[in-house]
Amino acid sequence: MTKDNIEVVREHYNKEVASEWERLLFHPVEYAITCRYLDRYIEPGARTLDIGGGPGRYSLYLAEKGCDVTLLDLSEANIAFAAERAAERGVSINAIAGDARVADSLVSGLFDHVLLMGPLYHLLDETDRIKAVIAAIKMLKKGGLLFSAFISSYAGVWDFLSRVPENILDPEQDKGL
């Protein structure tokens, strides 16, 4: 990913903190399923690193569960937002602004679990995705679990069409078929 692309992503999330925080309210199934898996594998007290965790929905969820959580996100605004929410809820998270591709040089120590569920959406170059995964794996204790997520290459089309359904079928275009 070029520096320009990183800046585009950073600027987007610095401006869209509130909508990113609310995003999982509009996708409750995604949130519920993810929390179910987090609950299945992450015990209270586990040291957990959330790389690219945005405004901290999952970081806060795990901190409220009693985990020792570090959140690393590219967006300084997301980091500030997550730290404020943690203080409001009376939980502690270590919030750091930084790039997922070099997470292992920004965060100290090893973790029981690492979440890498945001950056793989935005790292378009395979080399950059590999760097992020390697950095995440370096942060894991032996026997630790890496949670990762990505989206289909068709997700943008699906999202657009679901937001603008009138573009799915244009009767005028259909006449020529």
pLDDT in tens, the chain (177 residues): 556 788 999 999 999 999 999 988 888 888 999 999 999 999 999 999 999 999 999 999 999 999 999 999 999 999 999 999 999 999 999 999 999 999 999 999 999 999 999 898 888 889 999 999 999 999 999 999 999 987 766 666 766 777 776 666 555 655 554
Query: What per-residue confidence (pLDDT) applies to 121?
Result: 84
Whether 113 is covered by a domain: the verdict is yes
On whether the CB atoms of residues 13 and 78 are closer than 8 A, the answer is yes
Q: How many domains does the chain have?
A: 1
The answer to whether the CB of 114 falls within 8 A of the CB of 140 is: yes
Of 37, 89, 41, the C-alpha closest to 64 is 89
- 115 domain residue, yes or no: yes
Residues 64 and 145 sit within 8 Å (Cβ to Cβ): no
Supply the CATH number for residue 55's domain.
Answer: 3.40.50.150
Is 156 domain-assigned? Answer: no
Evaluate whether residue 162 is within a structural domain.
no
Could you tell me which residues come within 8 angstroms of residue 48 by beta carbon, excluding any fewer than 6 positions away?
A: 42, 62, 67, 68, 69, 70, 111, 112, 113, 114, 115
List all residues 6 or more positions away from 147 whose beta carbon is below 8 Å from its beta carbon.
Answer: 37, 38, 41, 113, 114, 115, 116, 117
pLDDT of amino acid 177: 45
38 with 147: CB under 8 angstroms? yes
Residue 168 counted as domain residue:
no
169 occurs within a structural domain: no
Q: Is there a domain that residue 78 lies in?
A: yes
Residue 61: domain span: 3-28+43-151
